[in-house]
Structure 1
Amino acid sequence: MWIRLSVLLAIAPALQANEPRELRYDWLTQGERSGSLVTRVAADGQRSSHFEFSDRGRGPEIDETMRLNAAGLPVDLKVQGKSYMGAPVAESFSRDAETARWTSTLDSGERPVEGPVFYAAVDGTPDQTAVLARALLNAKDQRLALLPGGEARIDALQTHTFKVGGQTVQATLHAISGLGFTPTFVWLDEDDELFALSYGWMGLAPEGGSAVLEQVGPLQEEAEAAWLRQRAVELTQAMQGRWCLRDARWLDVDAGELNPASDILIDEGVISAVGAAGTAGCAGLPGIDAGGRVVLPGLWDMHVHAGASDGLLHIANGVTGARDLGNDHDEVLRLTAAFDSGKLIGPRLQRAGFIDKKSPYTAPTGMPVDTLEQALAQIDDYAEKGYPQVKIYSSIPPEWVAPMAERLHGHGMRLSGHIPAFMTAEQAVRQGFDEIQHINMLFLNFVADAETDTRTPARFMKVAEEAGTLDLDSAEVGAFISLLKEHDVVVDPTVAIFDQMFRHRSGELAPILRDVVDHMPPAVQRGARAGEIDINDDNAATYAASADALLGLVQRLHAAGVRLVPGTDGLVGFTLHRELELYAQAGIPNAEVIRLATSSAADIADMGTPVGRIAPGQAADLLVVDGDPLQDISALRRGVLVVRGDRVHRPDAIFRSLGIKPFAASIPRD
């Protein structure tokens, strides 16, 4: 059968043999080796990779074999192992002259293909990212169709010289678009082999070349910032001076009441007046017509670890305020300044300090300490820098909690965090906790025993296995809830991420994205089927019962008057919407859910600037939605305008820039 030359090249095996070679890399966490990637390239070009790292008892372990054709495209691929949270990984792909076939724990398919196409594995090793980058560099217009769907393109950004093991290496930073919401960055050496990957405090570098990561990180961050700065120019409407948001049905979030259509006068980013048409002083001023839609204060996400690229998703989803619960001090200050100035699109940021003790399970955030004296000194330093709160982590010894709380309270600061390992939540509350992060920490008060090391994934699995059997109406649980109320302990449930962890079986849609997945880029749609923990026929019902128990406890906490703060600790924007929907599902009235995510959260964040309400003197952080969230909480997903002080953003334009199909048509510019 006659086959065109382009098709033949697309499927032919690599034609030129090379000497076998081995590429070795270190996975680094805060500069310390915590894993590795080893790639062996055979004489016939077949690539075999093993990738693993450990992160507080979690981490992937993946074996991958790949055979490429003369164009550098996979024609045979096999991936085996486990994902970061332990879900099984089993994936294969093959291609002949006419057909591509694949199967994985997520899906399977068969499709006629002709010409260049790249199969993007769900859980491939970092070597596959470099293989894709090389294939893109060799492709026409540096673009390739992806299987099962989508398209990727590559741009070379900058080249630098590095020293590795006494040798000089030139490496180039490339940006691959089409795999997610924002570009994927990868460094390739002179041979277009993988050189480095940087993910903030984690990354990959040549074996023994940890200093490389310290160099490539800032360079990559600046490249990402340049991309984001351009988005800010394109996607921001400056509204300095006096202007009006007209014909807006505004929500009094404290009263839970929707007011008739009014005009909102904004002066230099601050609400100056709210009143019926003709009474707010809007005559003759420029403005934007809300068309009778509902306007509410911008939402707050009270549990993030802020990154520059998160800002776009925050604002597009109506999140105008966020609390960072663990980050590098200089980085969070840079982000705050960039978001506040408008150089980058993003929310207001409140920050919390972070302290953990050095251990095999130390969190990859901040500077871990060895002694209580060092921990107290860090508290003093955070106080001097103006932090209102410090979050502690799982490796803090229980006997440190009381003196740390005393020092924090002496500075007028709050203590929050994980419940330290081998300590109960009740003990932590009695010794000075002001806030507890994560709903699982409350369940551990009842299901953990003296042998449960909650520095490890046991803090998830123990709850997954036993929370469903806990009697939430027992005297023991009731007394604990009363203790939380008595001590005014705030709870940051992040229930959406645990609901997803306990329910999301590989091959099914992730609950967080299930209702919006059709709007996502193709690669994100497929990734939404990748489960986290190993859920199977034997444990699915048990884990689902535990997920139900999470919501049951959220409902009981709220009914008892325990203050809740909605946060994500995951994919920003979409996860917050899911968090709020789960609160409503748990039985909390929509008006209360909205109050928790606006005025109540803003009061707890305590920015020093009035924010979180629609009233004179409040910062003009506003979300205009298509629908009534008092009747349908999912209306929060349909933002049509977001005001962040003296700047206006249109969610549909931001979503399109991220490859996301908009959820509603935004209010156009005048």
Structure 2
Amino acid sequence: MSIRLLALLLVTPTLSAAEPREVRYDWLTQGEASGSLVTRIGEDGQRHSRFEFNDRGRGPKIEERIRLDAQGLPVAITVEGKSYMGAPAQEEFSRTGDTARWTSTLDSGEREITGPVFYAAAEGTPDQIALLARALLQARDQRLDLLPAGEASIEALQSHAFQVNGQPVRATLYAISGLGFTPSFVWLDEKNELFALSYGWMGLAPEGAASVMEVVDRLQEEAEAAWLRKRAQALTQAMPGSWCLLGARWLDVDAGELKPASTIRISDGVIDAIGAPADIDCRDLASIDAGGRVVVPGLWDMHVHAGPGDGLLHIANGVTGARDLGNDHDVVMGLARDFGSGELIGPRLQRAGFIDKKSPYTAPTGTPVDTLEQALEQIDGYAAQGYQQVKIYSSIPPEWVAPMAERLHGHGMRLSGHIPAFMTAGQAVRAGFDEIQHINMLFLNFVADKDTDTRTPARFMKVAEEGGKLDLDSDEVRAFIALLKERDIVVDPTVAIFDQMFRHRSGEMAPILGSIVDHLPPSVQRGARAGEIDINDSNAATYAASAQALLGMVRRLHEAGVRLAPGTDGIVGFTLHRELELYAQAGIPNAEVIRLATSSAADIADTGTPVGRIAPGQAADLLVVDGDPLQDISALRRGVLVVRGDRVHRPAAIFRSLGIKPFVEAIP
């Protein structure tokens, strides 16, 4: 589930009704109903909602009751159920006079309040986002203070007349700011009730009216793109044909050596020359002085599912290259074009095709297939469209892997992905895999049995329960790692998301955001306390041992010479920094960690453009940091300047535009 979806489900409540009624919605995955929201509104205006959906065996199941005052502000909320990955969801809020009290799995508090305030619930159903929107529309200046902290505002973007079950319905798209890094979007009907929500391949529509989502998605994408284009214009400095970066201590990532302060000359987005100031002619050229700071190649995130709003966080965090491992073809091609042209701020984007077989656990992206012949036809189609890699998913039958690998290799393409259910990683490698996504897939090679259906959350829970017991120095594990090295298998660990999943109890701070939480918007800070799986006193030590074992595996893979591709599959930018910090914690030297995220990753991505190093002829994708990442890998978080070819960005300005307190001020 995307972070944007999670953020919206963390939001708030809304309005009362004049007469009892029931409103029903379908939760849609790629246009097909996979769940529902049913809201009953009583005579007194109290709202009782039930929300659930199934996403490959995962999904929330929430029941809530909300009572509102005359201004549409919540005076009582009760939420109970389970969250997307199964963590318990329980929350109570009440307001009596000027006293507000709340308790949840994340926190509890009491506050004396004056004036209109909206309680932003940590858990709940999509009905809450519509309630907040309606309260904002009634509020002065269309702004409201939030409890426990923060402020929200709303802006109407556009209206459209839809046909719902043969009846005309006019709905308006609103953007709510203050809940996350970028606006949250919601569609309300003429009565200001929830009409639709769109999250890319998932969304919510009136029951039986899935057809409205095509227009909902298109109009919302256009509105979001317009918002992002304005920020691209304001937050991008277009550089002249030739210019110089002065006083740059630059890192030779392949040698792991920090070079003395030098001048880097850039022409048409490409590094033209590097050397001592006296040796590089910068007369009459524009220049930026790095002031002796360290310059590294721009970072690569090797596991994303790109969206247009992600580009801001990528660039602000020094990520100038990313590999998309599963997306709609038109979407990823459009993003690659817009990021490349500067229409939107974003990284250099490499793309992988995606194939899964139709099943109850089919991934919600791409076009699933029924037969091997269809899968081979998709491979041919991806080859014709210039893809260099295809990722396969968990429902692919094991017997399809070898013929799919043969077809891909015949096109000069690579095969990567999840290990298909009821297949071991060793079998997949011998059948033709070139790359494995996610560190848990390696552990399943040893802890899964013949009955473990890894299309389901068992692929997480089996590792959480058994991973810490695996002897990583056993002959069996050593032989498996040797096989990976022998076949030159790339491993994309995404260890940060599993470390967080196995360690993060509800109410504690999420490890991915823990070290930077004070910089984040209040609503994001609170949301960062929401756990994923149900961790309690009886299993916490077991799960933590498994999290530690993941790091042990990462270290052993690196020591054996297995190529690692740092990726996230989570909140972009911040998660990559955490991924690299975990590699360092695992025992990989900082210089090697940086190489993995720059030159090595760029070589694996193979964009056709020389990139990932600081050298003449290389694309000028650069990150200037305040600190020495060879001594402290976390210095990568303190970017002061990001160069993306012929464009310059200042992370501090981007962070401020997203409601994030900068980590360090920019170079003038």
Q: Which residue of 2 aligns with 1:489?
A: 489
1:40 CA displacement = 0.4
What code does the residue aligned with 2:243 have? W
1:210 equivalenced with 2:210 (yes/no): yes
> What's the secondary structure of 2:277's corresponding residue?
coil
What code does the residue aligned with 1:429 have? V
1:17 CA displacement = 6.9
In structure 2, distance between residues paired with 1:428 and 1:265: 46
1:627 equivalenced with 2:636 (yes/no): no
> What's the secondary structure of 1:482's corresponding residue?
helix
What code does the residue aligned with 1:142 have? Q
Asked if the contact 2:240–2:286 (Cα under 8 Å) also holds between the matched residues in 1, the reply is: no
Q: Could you list the per-position Cα deviations for residues 522-544 of structure 1 after superposition, in whole angstroms to 9, with x for gaps in the alignment? A: 00000010000000000000000
Asked if the contact 1:299–1:321 (Cα under 8 Å) also holds between the matched residues in 2, the reply is: yes
Q: Which residue of 1 aligns with 2:4?
A: none
In structure 1, distance between residues paired with 2:151 and 2:213: 29
Q: Which residue of 1 aligns with 2:11?
A: none
What code does the residue aligned with 2:110 have? E
What code does the residue aligned with 2:64 have? E
1:280 CA displacement = 1.6
Asked if the contact 1:240–1:269 (Cα under 8 Å) also holds between the matched residues in 2, the reply is: no
Q: Output the aligned Cα RMSD.
A: 0.9
Asked if the contact 1:437–1:491 (Cα under 8 Å) also holds between the matched residues in 2, the reply is: yes
In structure 2, distance between residues paired with 1:512 and 1:217: 30
1:496 CA displacement = 0.1
What code does the residue aligned with 2:448 have? A
Q: Which residue of 2 aligns with 1:252?
A: 252
Asked if the contact 2:253–2:598 (Cα under 8 Å) also holds between the matched residues in 1, the reply is: yes
Asked if the contact 1:314–1:572 (Cα under 8 Å) also holds between the matched residues in 2, the reply is: yes
Asked if the contact 1:240–1:647 (Cα under 8 Å) also holds between the matched residues in 2, the reply is: no
> What's the secondary structure of 1:322's corresponding residue?
strand
> What's the secondary structure of 1:37's corresponding residue?
strand
1:33 equivalenced with 2:33 (yes/no): yes
In structure 1, distance between residues paired with 2:342 and 2:521: 27
Q: Could you list the per-position Cα deviations for residues 566-615 of structure 1 after superposition, in whole angstroms to 9, with x for gaps in the alignment? A: 00000000000000000000000000000000000000000000000000
1:240 CA displacement = 2.9
What code does the residue aligned with 2:166 have? G
> What's the secondary structure of 2:512's corresponding residue?
coil
Q: Could you list the per-position Cα deviations for residues 377-418 of structure 1 after superposition, in whole angstroms to 9, with x for gaps in the alignment? A: 000000000000000000000000000000000000000000
* Structural mapping, 1:586-601, within 5 Å: 586-601=586-601
In structure 2, distance between residues paired with 1:218 and 1:625: 38
> What's the secondary structure of 1:374's corresponding residue?
helix
Aligned residues: 655
> What's the secondary structure of 1:272's corresponding residue?
strand
Asked if the contact 2:248–2:295 (Cα under 8 Å) also holds between the matched residues in 1, the reply is: yes
* Structural mapping, 1:334-373, within 5 Å: 334-373=334-373
Unpaired stretches in structure 1, ≥5 consecutive residues: 1-12
In structure 2, distance between residues paired with 1:593 and 1:582: 10
1:442 equivalenced with 2:456 (yes/no): no
In structure 2, distance between residues paired with 1:374 and 1:32: 21
> What's the secondary structure of 2:161's corresponding residue?
strand
In structure 1, distance between residues paired with 2:436 and 2:247: 41
What code does the residue aligned with 2:53 have? F
In structure 1, distance between residues paired with 2:17 and 2:360: 44
Q: Which residue of 1 aligns with 2:120?
A: 120
TM-score by length of 1: 0.97
> What's the secondary structure of 2:278's corresponding residue?
coil
> What's the secondary structure of 2:501's corresponding residue?
helix
Q: Which residue of 2 aligns with 1:86?
A: 86
Q: Could you list the per-position Cα deviations for residues 407-460 of structure 1 after superposition, in whole angstroms to 9, with x for gaps in the alignment? A: 000000000000000000000000100000000000000000000000000000
> What's the secondary structure of 1:565's corresponding residue?
coil
Asked if the contact 1:271–1:616 (Cα under 8 Å) also holds between the matched residues in 2, the reply is: yes
Q: Which residue of 1 aligns with 2:21?
A: 21
Q: Which residue of 1 aligns with 2:605?
A: 605
1:283 CA displacement = 2.3
Unpaired stretches in structure 2, ≥5 consecutive residues: 1-13
Asked if the contact 1:626–1:638 (Cα under 8 Å) also holds between the matched residues in 2, the reply is: yes
In structure 2, distance between residues paired with 1:186 and 1:272: 48
Q: Could you list the per-position Cα deviations for residues 624-645 of structure 1 after superposition, in whole angstroms to 9, with x for gaps in the alignment? A: 0000000000000000000000
In structure 1, distance between residues paired with 2:354 and 2:232: 30
In structure 2, distance between residues paired with 1:124 and 1:459: 26
1:556 CA displacement = 0.2
1:282 CA displacement = 1.3
* Structural mapping, 1:425-440, within 5 Å: 425-440=425-440
Q: Which residue of 2 aligns with 1:4?
A: none
In structure 1, distance between residues paired with 2:132 and 2:572: 27
Q: Could you list the per-position Cα deviations for residues 188-215 of structure 1 after superposition, in whole angstroms to 9, with x for gaps in the alignment? A: 0000000000000000000000001111
In structure 2, distance between residues paired with 1:280 and 1:542: 58
* Structural mapping, 1:218-237, within 5 Å: 218-237=218-237
* Structural mapping, 1:393-404, within 5 Å: 393-404=393-404
1:167 CA displacement = 0.2
Q: Which residue of 2 aligns with 1:44?
A: 44
In structure 2, distance between residues paired with 1:269 and 1:376: 39
Q: Which residue of 2 aligns with 1:297?
A: 297
What code does the residue aligned with 1:638 have? R
Q: Which residue of 1 aligns with 2:642?
A: 642
What code does the residue aligned with 1:381 have? G
> What's the secondary structure of 1:278's corresponding residue?
helix
> What's the secondary structure of 1:607's corresponding residue?
coil
Asked if the contact 2:195–2:206 (Cα under 8 Å) also holds between the matched residues in 1, the reply is: yes
Q: Which residue of 2 aligns with 1:313?
A: 313
> What's the secondary structure of 1:365's corresponding residue?
coil
Q: Which residue of 2 aligns with 1:9?
A: none
Q: Which residue of 2 aligns with 1:662?
A: 662
Q: Could you list the per-position Cα deviations for residues 501-552 of structure 1 after superposition, in whole angstroms to 9, with x for gaps in the alignment? A: 0000000000000000000000000001000000000000000000000000
In structure 2, distance between residues paired with 1:338 and 1:442: 36
Q: Which residue of 1 aligns with 2:6?
A: none
Q: Which residue of 2 aligns with 1:504?
A: 504
1:328 equivalenced with 2:320 (yes/no): no
What code does the residue aligned with 1:531 have? G
Asked if the contact 1:652–1:663 (Cα under 8 Å) also holds between the matched residues in 2, the reply is: yes
1:476 equivalenced with 2:464 (yes/no): no
* Structural mapping, 1:100-119, within 5 Å: 100-119=100-119
> Which 4+ stretches in 1 moved above 2 angstroms?
none
Asked if the contact 1:401–1:431 (Cα under 8 Å) also holds between the matched residues in 2, the reply is: yes
In structure 2, distance between residues paired with 1:116 and 1:52: 31
What code does the residue aligned with 1:390 have? V
1:284 CA displacement = 2.3
Q: Could you list the per-position Cα deviations for residues 308-344 of structure 1 after superposition, in whole angstroms to 9, with x for gaps in the alignment? A: 0000000000000000000000110100110011010
> What's the secondary structure of 2:321's corresponding residue?
strand
> What's the secondary structure of 2:216's corresponding residue?
helix
> What's the secondary structure of 1:86's corresponding residue?
coil
In structure 2, distance between residues paired with 1:278 and 1:154: 55
> What's the secondary structure of 1:518's corresponding residue?
helix
Asked if the contact 1:405–1:432 (Cα under 8 Å) also holds between the matched residues in 2, the reply is: yes
> What's the secondary structure of 1:597's corresponding residue?
helix
1:18 CA displacement = 1.9
Asked if the contact 1:118–1:132 (Cα under 8 Å) also holds between the matched residues in 2, the reply is: yes
What code does the residue aligned with 2:351 have? R
What code does the residue aligned with 2:131 have? V
Q: Could you list the per-position Cα deviations for residues 266-286 of structure 1 after superposition, in whole angstroms to 9, with x for gaps in the alignment? A: 001000000011212212211
What code does the residue aligned with 1:620 have? A
> What's the secondary structure of 1:333's corresponding residue?
helix
In structure 2, distance between residues paired with 1:92 and 1:162: 37
In structure 2, distance between residues paired with 1:280 and 1:576: 34
> What's the secondary structure of 2:571's corresponding residue?
coil
Q: Could you list the per-position Cα deviations for residues 334-384 of structure 1 after superposition, in whole angstroms to 9, with x for gaps in the alignment? A: 001100110100000000000000000000010000000000000000000
Q: Which residue of 2 aligns with 1:532?
A: 532
In structure 2, distance between residues paired with 1:56 and 1:559: 35
1:98 CA displacement = 1.6
> What's the secondary structure of 1:507's corresponding residue?
coil
In structure 1, distance between residues paired with 2:540 and 2:69: 41
> What's the secondary structure of 1:500's corresponding residue?
helix
What code does the residue aligned with 1:290 have? A
> What's the secondary structure of 2:616's corresponding residue?
coil
Asked if the contact 2:17–2:41 (Cα under 8 Å) also holds between the matched residues in 1, the reply is: no
TM-score by length of 2: 0.98
